[in-house]
């Protein structure tokens, strides 16, 4: 009997290796505000993908990933700063186009969800609870991962939606992230406890200790820290701890802002 699983396993391994080589370094560069490096990696990844030998299914899914990262590069305050209602609509329309393969369809649904989240946070288009649940329904339950629940948790905390925050809390507890797993869980844990009125000083302290990158720091300072102060959990020692952690993170090397230019997500699929 021919073993059909071996080729499939090899293809999956090749796809994972490609993601490790390109996707994660691009994400890390953007997190560290190394925007020139991220822009160059995006261009190099597209060239490499064309000659990668990956399956057509994997290539289409990878193209979705790169398209989204290019959108993120543009949306990011340290990127092109070319993000407004019109560019949001273009990105949404591009990633809403039908996909040939199921893997790309799922990735497109996921990225549309993320774009809607960003638009909501930027004040471009509100995202209601019903719309949030409809977006999640586009993703098979077994395909929802820590990235999805990370976004859901932020929305749920801001809107005091206990049901959605509880779902995110349980998901990250049972399926921890491979990247910044303890920090991502602690973030949702603090959100959950604050919403329930059961947070303690040690929960704030543990959250500060786990801050590693600038997006974490920014969200903590603008969203969680005020809620901790309101709950009476902040003291002088915690203020000093946060200030020292912030200084350490802010001193992470970052590229100078790239020269402004108009860029757009690829129109080809």
Higher-confidence position of 8 and 171: 171
Res 263 pLDDT > 70 = no
Q: Say how far apart CA 73 and CA 80 lie, in whole Å.
A: 7
Is residue 41 within 8 A of residue 22, CB to CB? The reply is yes
Joined together, the tokens standing for residue 104 give: 């790309």
pLDDT in tens, 189-241: 999 999 999 999 999 999 999 998 888 898 999 999 999 999 999 999 999 99
Higher-confidence position of 260 and 219: 219
- 260 contact partners, CB below 8 Å, separation of at least 6: 80, 81, 82
First to last CA, the chain: 38
Res 71 pLDDT > 70 = yes
Report the interhelical angle of 102-121 vs 146-159 (nearest 10°): 30
- 225 contact partners, CB below 8 Å, separation of at least 6: 234, 242
- The pLDDT assigned to 251 comes to 82
Cα distances (Å, whole numbers) of residue 18 to 12, 23, 62: 10, 8, 9
- CB atoms inside a 10 Å sphere around CB 42: 20
- 10 contact partners, CB below 8 Å, separation of at least 6: none
DSSP 146-162: HHHHHHHHHHHHHHT-H
Cα distances (Å, whole numbers) of residue 68 to 172, 199, 201: 23, 36, 38
Burial class (CB in 10 A: 0-12, 13-18, 19+), 120: buried
């Amino acid at each position: 009997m021919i073993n059909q699983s071996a080729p499939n396993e090899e293809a999956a391994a090749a796809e994972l290796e490609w993601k490790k080589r390109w996707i994660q370094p691009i994400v890390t560069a953007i997190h560290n505000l190394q925007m020139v490096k991220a822009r160059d990696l995006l261009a190099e990844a597209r060239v490499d993908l064309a000659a990668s030998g990956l399956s057509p299914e994997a290539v289409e899914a990878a193209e979705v990933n790169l398209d989204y990262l290019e959108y993120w590069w543009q949306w990011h305050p340290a990127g092109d700063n070319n993000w407004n209602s019109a560019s949001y609509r273009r990105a949404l329309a591009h990633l809403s186009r039908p996909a040939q393969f199921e893997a790309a369809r799922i990735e497109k649904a996921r990225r549309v969800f993320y774009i809607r989240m960003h638009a909501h946070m930027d004040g471009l288009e509100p995202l209601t609870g019903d719309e949030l649940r409809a977006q999640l329904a586009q993703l098979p339950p077994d395909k929802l991962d820590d990235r999805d629940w990370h976004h859901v948790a932020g929305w749920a905390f801001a809107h005091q939606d206990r049901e959605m925050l509880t779902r995110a809390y349980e998901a990250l507890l049972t399926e921890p992230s491979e990247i910044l797993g303890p920090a991502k869980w602690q973030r949702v844990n603090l959100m959950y406890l604050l919403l329930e009125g059961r947070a303690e000083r040690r929960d704030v302290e543990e959250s500060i200790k786990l801050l590693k990158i600038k997006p974490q720091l920014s969200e903590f300072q603008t969203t969680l820290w005020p809620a901790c102060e309101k709950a009476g959990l902040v003291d002088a020692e915690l203020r000093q701890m946060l200030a020292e952690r912030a200084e350490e993170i802010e001193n992470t090397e970052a590229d100078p802002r790239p020269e402004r230019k108009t860029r757009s997500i690829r129109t080809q699929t």
